[in-house]
Structure 1
Amino acid sequence: MREKRRAERLVNTYADLILRVAYTYLGSRADAEDVCQETLLRLLRRREPFESAEHERAWVVRMTANLCRDLLRRRASHLTVALSAAGGVTVSADAVLGDDTHYVVVYSLTPDDPTLFENVARSDEGTVLLGFSNIAIPENVGATGGGMGAYFYDADPDDASVQYVQQCWAESEDGLAGTTAYVKLVDLCALDPETLEPVGEPLATGTWVLEVPLDYESAAISLPTGQTVDYEGASVTVTELSVSPLGAMISYDLVGTPDTSQEFPQLNLPVFVNFADGTSFDATWVGGFGDDTHVTKGASFDRIVDAEDIVSVTVGDVTIEVPHA
């Protein structure tokens, strides 16, 4: 009876937390549930007492993160060849997931000196305030356009490594899955918490070059197309539209010129991705390319989302439902 009550307490206390952490890593509800079950089982089997409730919670978060990383490494074991060492730091590509136009690569930065990152500031959101001196947008051979967002975090405070996440998008005729991302990183610096500018000399000086195979199954969900909307006096017809846990992509034809003073008016067609909780992501002004008659643009979400939570996309004044919703 005591064990049953203990199990109920742990499930009630930590199941939701574990699922949130695991989904952030994995982007899959089924995988997150598997990790949740394994984390709770290991917690139940643990006999050594925790020092406090905070110690117990920290153990749960760390175990969840480690199990997620182990799962990603097993699924992407081929990525272990994508590593580069310079300036006393080894950068390795641990995991990759993506769709036809977006992908995320998670790297680990492991220093020879285990104290290298100890005094680097953290943001209120928990990111590690590091940066490379170059704008390290990967090159995807055969792709056009593209963009990137990136951040650092510490998956396991008990080891010396930190993680670097690149959220990328590019347009490729046959999709990005199965291609290679060529990555160049230069000089790793600590950032000032106020200005987010480099502080002092680089923590590690050098150049890291990696070839990262984008070997994944696309998570894109294609939406119905052919809708025509009016955009500031121009007629716009949607020719391609998709969403995934990573972002959204749209292509459209234009007839006429939008009557607006905005720079690059053809790119400013309003696009919003709508979620089940009532929130929306503004994908209007994002990376894109095209001309006066045709545009393709893509937006990466600020987090990995559950595809089941994407209910629709609004283009201009037309709302297009996601097929599963």
Structure 2
Amino acid sequence: MSREYNEAMNDLRFSPEAKKRMAANLAAAHEQAARPRPDVYAVRGGKRRWRYAAAVAAAVVLVVGVGGVASATGNLMSMANVFDDLFNGPPAQTEVVDKIGRPIGASATSNGVTVTAEAIIGDRTNYAVVFSIAKDDGTAFDVEPLENGILPLGFEGHSRVSVDGVMASGGSSYFYDADPSDNAIQYVERTSATAVGNSIIGHTARVSLKDLKVHGEGEARVLAEGEWNMKFAIDYEDTSVDLPAGQTIKVSGMDATLDSATVSPIALTLEYTVHEVLNWEDQQSGRMSDHNQNEMDRFLDPSVTLNMKDGTTVEIDALRGAGGTREGANSTACNKSIMFDEFLNLDDVASITIGGAELPLP
């Protein structure tokens, strides 16, 4: 199934040369990615609370304002979204073709620039959406890529893709040029989310983008001024594979139990219980203290290794994923979503070792 999924990706509107450049650029960006201090979103309720931390989802250059952004947010459907659907119509429908979601008519034009949602792929809790950005007059954008191929671009301020019914999310974004011979560039948002109903499929994605800027030395300059808003239904084929669970694992030297594990061509999603509690200290609202950040890292850093059928192994840095913790009396429930740098062909994977426990793929 995953091989068919990978082949379906080749049907996107990119030339073979562009696809090769995209894969190379993603790998190069991963090598230069800087890990930021994550933001935190806490959900309070009774005596227990979830703490969510978002780290970079990989393949992003995270220099301030350049090439990407890491975020953590909570976003249940607001009253504004309800009224928007009432007065401005329902979201665009998404057609699933060869396992990939292709939004129908999800585009917006402002000041001679059109942004189009081209494709969305993912599993139950992780997705990547690809947008094209093009000038209506057919001319190309005046921007040079960085050495790793990522374009030093960013949208203004609070521009984002949000999803109705999501309680918390974390992810990253970046720009690249899949085919330099045409006038379009590509914008990608990659997100891991905790959603009502345990799946984001069927929810509505709402896109709000403003003022495309070029970043570099000095103040950023506006490349394309405008506002682009659209919405579309999230739909694609869920390619998650459930892995055996229940094993005892180690997380930063602590004993833990693996409650569930799923893998897809884009991400590994874990739930586990650490048999210790976080040593949490009071902090000011806003960004997490260094002490609490280290505690989150300690609980959200299971070792992960992909064991390939050809005998090679791939070490995965779990701290680059998004995750959360919930404290109990004597234990801590943890969830972790780790998006891969490249699309993973599950047919090539023999097993995944998590915290010392080897899980064979079915």
TM-score, normalising length from structure 1?
0.70
> Alignment partner of 1:127: what SS?
coil
Alignment of 1:1-325 (within 5 A): 28-31=5-8, 61=17, 79-117=103-141, 119-134=142-157, 136-172=159-195, 173-192=197-216, 199-200=220-221, 202-231=222-251, 234-257=254-277, 262-265=294-297, 267-276=299-308, 277-292=312-327, 293-323=332-362
Q: Distance in 1 between matches of 2:214 and 2:144?
A: 8
Kept after mapping to 1: 8 A contact 2:274/2:299: no
TM-score, normalising length from structure 2?
0.64
Cα distance change on mapping 1:311 and 1:135 into 2, 3 Å: farther
Q: Distance in 1 between matches of 2:297 and 2:19?
A: 48
Unpaired segments ≥5 residues, structure 2? 22-94, 281-290
> Alignment partner of 2:220: what SS?
coil
> Alignment partner of 2:151: what SS?
coil
Could you give the per-residue CA deviations for residues 106-125 of structure 1, whole angstroms, max 9, x where no partner exists?
Answer: 111111343351x3011233
Q: Distance in 2 between matches of 1:88 and 1:151?
A: 22
Q: Distance in 2 between matches of 1:28 and 1:77?
A: 12
> Alignment partner of 1:28: what SS?
helix
> Alignment partner of 1:245: what SS?
coil
More helix by share: 1
> Alignment partner of 2:147: what SS?
coil
Cα distance change on mapping 1:252 and 1:189 into 2, 3 Å: same
Q: What value does the CA root-mean-square deviation take over the aligned residues? A: 3.3
Cα distance change on mapping 1:134 and 1:267 into 2, 3 Å: farther
Q: Distance in 2 between matches of 1:30 and 1:77?
A: 14
Could you give the per-residue CA deviations for residues 267-319 of structure 1, whole angstroms, max 9, x where no partner exists?
Answer: 32323141523222222452112222211121111222222233333322222
Match of 1:19 in 2: none
Q: Give 1:85 shift.
A: 1.7
More strand by share: 2
Q: Distance in 2 between matches of 1:161 and 1:145?
A: 32
Which residue identity is paired with 2:134? T
Query: 1 or 2 for the larger relative contact order (CA 8 Å, sep ≥6)?
Result: 2
Could you give the per-residue CA deviations for residues 228-278 of structure 1, whole angstroms, max 9, x where no partner exists?
Answer: 224456431111211111111111123223689723256323231415232
Cα distance change on mapping 1:298 and 1:198 into 2, 3 Å: farther
Which residue identity is paired with 1:124? E
Q: Distance in 2 between matches of 1:59 and 1:212?
A: 26
| Structure whose alpha-carbon radius of gyration is higher | 1
Which residue identity is paired with 1:199? A
Q: Give 1:187 shift.
A: 1.3
> Alignment partner of 2:103: what SS?
helix
Kept after mapping to 2: 8 A contact 1:73/1:94: no
> Alignment partner of 2:338: what SS?
strand
Cα distance change on mapping 1:198 and 1:278 into 2, 3 Å: farther
Which residue identity is paired with 2:264? S
Cα distance change on mapping 1:136 and 1:233 into 2, 3 Å: same
User: Alignment identity in percent?
Assistant: 29
> Alignment partner of 2:347: what SS?
helix
